A and B are shown apart, each in its own frame.
Chain A
Amino acid sequence: GDSVTQMEGPVTLSEEAFLTINCTYTATGYPSLFWYVQYPGEGLQLLLKATKADDKGSNKGFEATYRKETTSFHLEKGSVQVSDSAVYFCALSDRGQGAQKLVFGQGTRLTINP
Chain B
Amino acid sequence: NAGVTQTPKFRVLKTGQSMTLLCAQDMNHEYMYWYRQDPGMGLRLIHYSVGEGTTAKGEVPDGYNVSRLKKQNFLLGLESAAPSQTSVYFCASSPGPPLYSNQPQHFGDGTRLSIL
Query: Which of A68-76, A78-86, A96-104 contacts its partner?
Result: A96-104
Contact indicator A41/B109 (Cβ below 8 Å): yes
The 8 A CB mask of A5-30 against B (1 = contact, 0 = none) is 00000000000000000000000000
Q: Cβ of A94 < 8 Å from any Cβ of B? A: yes
Task: Write the nearest CB–CB distance from A23 to chain B, whole angstroms.
Answer: 12
Contact indicator A95/B99 (Cβ below 8 Å): yes
Q: Cβ of A32 < 8 Å from any Cβ of B? A: yes
Contact indicator B31/A102 (Cβ below 8 Å): no
- Residues from chain B with a CB closer than 8 A to the CB of A66 are none
Contact indicator A93/B104 (Cβ below 8 Å): yes
Q: Cβ of B43 < 8 Å from any Cβ of A? A: yes
Interface size range on B against A: 20 to 34
A95–B99 CA distance with the chains assembled, in angstroms? 7
- Residues from chain A with a CB closer than 8 A to the CB of B33 are 101
Question: Which of B99, B103, B105 has the most chain A CB within a 10 Å cutoff?
Answer: B99
- Residues from chain B with a CB closer than 8 A to the CB of A101 are 33, 45, 48, 58, 98
The 8 A CB mask of A24-50 against B (1 = contact, 0 = none) is 000000011010000001111110010
Q: Would A43 and B98 be within 8 Å (CB), given that A100-B50, A106-B40 are in contact?
A: no
Residues of A within 8 A of B (CB): 4, 31-32, 34, 41-46, 49, 89, 93-95, 98-102, 104-107
